[in-house]
Amino acid sequence: MVIVHVGSLSLQVKRERTERRFKEKLIGEITRCVRGIVGRCLEEALEAEVTELLDREWYERRQDQDRCWTEAYCGKCGTHNRRQFSRNGHYPRNLGTGWGYIQIGMPQVECECGGKVKVPFQTVRPRQRIWDDLEGEIREEYGWGKSLRWLKECVDGRLSSSVGLRTLNQRVHELADLVPDWQDGKLEDVPPVVRVDGVWVTLMFDTQEKRKDQLGRQRVVKQAKKVPILVAQGVWPQEGRQEIVAWVLGQAEDEASWEALLTQMVQRGIEPERGLRLLVADGAAGLGPARKTVYWDVPFQRCVFHKLRNVWRAIVLPEGLEGDNAKAYKRRFIRSAARIWQATTEKEARRLQRKFCTKWAERQPNAIATLLRDFDDTLTFYRVQEAAALYGEQWPAHHLRTTSLLEREFRAWRRRLRGVVLFHSARGLDAIVHQLLTRRKFARLHALPGSWSLSLERALAQRGAIS
């Protein structure tokens, strides 16, 4: 028998409802108080800027002094002489923050001629409607993989208003302004080993044509095209550290695109004279000529993983072998071939290679031909290890013989890039790649979530994009 105490249950429901209403009311009161505090702090900062501009406090008389030039100027007469400027009250302005919309009083400055003085405020920039704290949160969430529509819902709920997708997109794309400085910056610590590879994305290109839409408006015709992001990953084998050191957006994996990446590496100071000892890559057709042009004097290591993958594709299965049995056959073949590069010395590796080729030459001629193609380039890491040993350094082979660790880095890239599906501009692609690089770097440094975005904000501030 089940006995339900209706009175007790009703009382508990009323108590929970009362507690919930109390919490909502308390949160609302706290939010209003914080908005007021934030508003007053902003107004005090703005007043301090005006005081610094005029070089006098409220109700303080002008001093007889020489002409004083300032960045502020009169919109009517054009003068920059602050001796002719004076305070002229305030006007109300709404500003979206992380605590919602707040209203602040923006100081006004007037010229003796009666014109309005244009003051380049740093606390709240001209025509700024979303303040820096909320802009930072927008970039932060976008950097962690959130979509613009998800961000719009969150920001709309925060501000109790509607913010356009274009507005959010502009905030995110401002990060693209950091890319040129990053790509042109010199590296102080040059990696001894560099892996290069590419990851493909879909980008919309302007066809230089226009067409009319249903409303008769002229629209630019764009076309989607798959293009590679060519990436260079620096490796410090002795420390086990790796970091992206260069990247470019190519038109294809052709010679010109690869040469642009290698040239950027040189501009960043990655040269043999500064410690570069090995370049690791797959067998991309355009990389060979580009490498011989830019890094002709740097040893080249052909990626063993890509070599084995090509051998896998060249295997001819015996008749009647299908399904799991076929996969097991190919797997045994590849594992046997992989032992060649697991040898401790180059001499031993060549002996294993001759033995393996003799065994399989008749049964798998295509696979053996693929293995022998550029085989010498797959053994370069042995000589690099020997040279490092002369300096008393032990370089693990897995850092030198493949680009697999760069492929692992690309997994995180693909998860983020596939969520976008396609990019409508190279600027948006630049912004998201820069976020990926910065986020991964701070994650490796065991920083708290969000700390990477603070660094981005400081860098943007230094460029003037954010004051």
- Pairing of the two strands 278-281 and 300-302: parallel
Q: Please give the share of the chain, as a percent, with pLDDT higher than 90.
A: 46
What's the pLDDT score for residue 454?
Answer: 44
pLDDT digits (tens, 9 = 90+) for 136-150: 888 878 777 677 888
Distance CA 457, CA 463 (A): 10
CA nearest neighbour of 195 among 429, 437, 400: 400
Of 56 and 336, the structure prediction assigns the larger pLDDT to: 336
Which of the pair, 32 or 237, is modelled with greater confidence?
Answer: 237
Domain boundaries, the chain: 33-58+67-129, 190-422
Higher pLDDT, 31 or 260: 260
CA dihedral for 177, 180, 183, 189, sign (positive or negative): negative
pLDDT of residue 377: 94
- pLDDT value of position 466: 37
> CB–CB of 63/48 below 8 Å?
no
- CB-side exposure of 59: number of CA atoms within 13 Å? 0
Highest-confidence segment of 135-149, 163-177, 209-223, 232-246: 232-246
Condensed to tens digits (0 to 9), the pLDDT of residues 379-392 reads 999 999 999 999 89
Residue 457 has pLDDT above 50, yes or no: no
Average pLDDT, integer, range 362-374: 93
At residue 296, φ and ψ (nearest 5 deg) are: -65, -25
Q: Give residues with Cβ within 8 angstroms of 403, minimum separation 6.
A: 195, 196, 197, 233, 280, 281, 282, 303, 305, 306
pLDDT of 451 reads: 42
Asked if residue 49 has pLDDT above 50, the reply is: yes
Burial of 137 (0-12, 13-18, 19+ CB in 10 A): buried
**pTM, rounded to two decimals:** 0.76
pLDDT at 56 over 80: yes
- List pLDDT tens digits, range 282-292: 988 899 999 99
Mean pLDDT across the chain? 86
pLDDT of residue 4 exceeding 50 = no
CA–CA dist 461, 238 (Å, integer): 36
Q: Is the pLDDT of residue 135 over 90?
A: no
Q: Two tokens at 461?
A: 């501030």
- Please report the sign of the dihedral spanned by the C-alpha atoms of residue 74, residue 80, residue 83, residue 86: positive
User: Mean pLDDT, to the nearest integer, of 67-78?
Assistant: 87
Q: What is the mean pLDDT of residues 222-245?
A: 92
Structure confidence by residue, pLDDT tens digits, 201-217:
999 888 888 888 888 88
Residues 293-312: what's their mean pLDDT? Answer: 94
Q: What is the pLDDT of residue 58?
A: 85
Whole-Å CA distances, 430 to 230, 423, 437: 13, 10, 11
